Structure 1
Amino acid sequence: MSDYAIYDVFSDTALAGNPLAVVFDADRFDDAQMQAIAREFNLSETVFVRTAENPVHTAKLRIFTPGRELPFAGHPTVGAAVALAHRRLGASLAGNRIDLVKMLEEGIGPVRCAVRIDRETAGFAEFDLPRLARRSGIGILREDIGTALGLDPHEIGFENHEVSLWSAGVPFVLVPVHDLSAAAKAECDPALWERVAPMADGQLASAYVYCRGGVHHTADFHARMFAPAEGIAEDPATGSAVAALSGAIHEHDGLREGNHALVIEQGVEMGRPSLIHLHLDCTGRELTHVRIGGEAVRIAEGRLLV
């Protein structure tokens, strides 16, 4: 038997953010069993915590959608880091703030994650992006993307932001739109998306629609994510998409030297508002370091009997 917990990630409020199943002590499961368990939870992602290959690291993570395994994902990284901290220190918190660093092994490589927990049921984690976002030169027709997302061509693009394909391990077609009303209008047609979306990193790219501003007063960008190839009609918070977006922000906004702290809101249209923290470090005009973070709150726990 293995214990598990359910966390809502990129939110400090239960029943908001992006739900995640964290399965502990998962060494005994093979690939087929982990995939079947992920289908059973039927959340956008389930993370399995296994013994690290490097003994100085905290744990090895295997991340599964209901359909396949991912080499890297943001909300499983944040949620698993907070869950592991709660599992180790929950009984000793007693209202004290504790900060610690964890090294998590993922398919993309080791991921350094800083964790802060203040009470037993909530915490904050921030991880260093293991691979900076890269732009693909694959040509993408704005009109085709607009048709698949129910957007008119004049609604796509703002300032010098244009439709582009980026990946920091998981590929996304980044679709800038004029404003919140255009973002709210977006609706992905799975059949059309499969016809027009490019392949990258061995998979069909998902759609990430974004604009400046947000409903929440702290938000710098508002976003929505559609992944029909993964069986995800819409995702309330997507750290891997924000990782891809970091490259587009650096390129299109011409960021100067220093640290740039941004907040991206997502999930508003789904009734599951999320806030994702993004920090970009630039040396000169070069993007050198990216961190992504957010809060996570535990809402359930139990035991797998398989």
Structure 2
Amino acid sequence: MSSRERAFAQVDVFSATPFLGNPVAVVLDADGLSDEAMARFARWTNLSETTFVLPPRAASADYRLRIFTPGGELPFAGHPTLGSAHAWLESGGEPGDPDVIVQECGAGLVQIRQTDAGLAFAAPATTRSGPLEPALLARVAAALGIGVDRVVAHGWVDNGPGWLAVQLSTAEEVLALDPDLSGVRDLMIGVVGAHPDGRFELRAFAPAIGVDEDPVTGSLNASVAQWLIGRGAAPSRYTASQGARVGREGTIAVTTDAASQVWVGGPSTTGIRGRVLI
């Protein structure tokens, strides 16, 4: 297929200050692109994720989204979901239901709604849970440069990308980590700890998809929120921060509705808008 111009945006997600969140590249008119063309473009943008907006297949969806990292395709990711919805709305997209956008992706249908904090997505259910095996926990602790005894809690929190999580006693401990990821190139590791004021600090190490540390991670925050709230380790509404060690200021708002659905949201700002030749 020959190249043509397609609408394009690059959106900064999870920061009220432009260029201090996590960027996502969004191709808004991706109909007809091959898998290889999408993968090649995602490698070229060299961002943690690049998305492609397509006509929906499900009757109840407003659009279909494919999400690529430089290393391959993901069934779901959080900040690309919010950034793509933001770009879709700015480009004239109109949801069938004015109160909710329905995104179709590899993980199924994801609801997105407007909140005081910005767009928020309904956290998908985790597909794998339960504690880490002792040998795996030891490998993760060694990669983080800490003893297993410093891990307050641990578990699988996978909602598509393959996340596992460990909780440390404090946010200060999380921020002090200087990991060696050479021995965990097959893993997706989230680390969380609490600030004295009740906020949580997260860091996301994703060597399995070629990203040593992700600035701000919607999918991880979504699954960690369910893990923390489900164990009574966090209230039903809280704020998390992420990205300080990589020069970002990500802010994530977590809320739980009356139906016990966890929502994860934050502000989005378009940094680049135009057309791309693919």
2:129 alignment counterpart:
135
Question: 1:296 aligned to 256, 268, 271, which one?
Answer: 268
The 2-side partners of 1:64 and 1:261 are apart by 30
Does the aligned pair in 1 maintain the 2:187–2:207 contact within 8 Å?
no
Q: Kindly, what percent of the aligned residue pairs are identical?
A: 32
Q: TM-score, normalised by structure 2?
A: 0.88
Deviation at 1:279, TM superposition (A): 1.7
Answer yes or no: is 1:242 the counterpart of 2:236. Answer: no
Does the aligned pair in 2 maintain the 1:100–1:116 contact within 8 Å?
no
Distance 1:252 1:151, change over 3 A: same
Deviation at 1:254, TM superposition (A): 6.2
Deviation at 1:138, TM superposition (A): 4.5
More strand by share: 1
The 1-side partners of 2:164 and 2:108 are apart by 23
1:150 alignment counterpart:
145
Runs of 4+ in 1 over 6 A off after TM superposition: none
Give secondary structure in 1 for the equivalent of 2:91: helix
Answer yes or no: is 1:109 the counterpart of 2:108. Answer: yes
Give secondary structure in 2 for the equivalent of 1:253: coil
Once the two structures are superposed, what CA deviation does each residue of 1:224-274 show, in whole Å capped at 9, x if it has no partner?
A: 00011111011111111112212321343267xxx8211111001111110
Answer yes or no: is 1:212 the counterpart of 2:194. Answer: yes
1:6 alignment counterpart:
10
Distance 1:168 1:186, change over 3 A: same
Report the AA paired with residue 82 of structure 1: H
Deviation at 1:163, TM superposition (A): 1.8
Distance 1:147 1:254, change over 3 A: closer
Kindly report which structure 2 residues correspond to 1:122-201, keeping only aligned pairs within 5 A, or say none: 124-132=118-126, 134-141=128-135, 142-157=137-152, 162-194=153-185
Answer yes or no: is 1:35 the counterpart of 2:39. Answer: yes
Does the aligned pair in 1 maintain the 2:132–2:154 contact within 8 Å?
no
Does the aligned pair in 2 maintain the 1:102–1:115 contact within 8 Å?
no
Runs of 5+ unmatched residues, structure 1: 91-98, 118-122, 195-203
Report the AA paired with residue 262 of structure 1: Y
The 2-side partners of 1:30 and 1:277 are apart by 36
Does the aligned pair in 2 maintain the 1:50–1:60 contact within 8 Å?
yes
Report the AA paired with residue 220 of structure 1: R
Once the two structures are superposed, what CA deviation does each residue of 1:62-114 show, in whole Å capped at 9, x if it has no partner?
A: 00001010001100111111111111179xxxxxxxx7421110111111111
Once the two structures are superposed, what CA deviation does each residue of 1:166-205 show, in whole Å capped at 9, x if it has no partner?
A: 21223222111122332122233232114xxxxxxxxx44
Does the aligned pair in 1 maintain the 2:123–2:223 contact within 8 Å?
no
Does the aligned pair in 2 maintain the 1:135–1:247 contact within 8 Å?
no
The 2-side partners of 1:183 and 1:139 are apart by 22
Does the aligned pair in 2 maintain the 1:133–1:247 contact within 8 Å?
no
Distance 1:222 1:138, change over 3 A: closer
Report the AA paired with residue 294 of structure 1: G
1:269 alignment counterpart:
245
Distance 1:165 1:89, change over 3 A: closer
Does the aligned pair in 2 maintain the 1:134–1:244 contact within 8 Å?
no
Give secondary structure in 2 for the equivalent of 1:37: helix
Runs of 5+ unmatched residues, structure 2: none
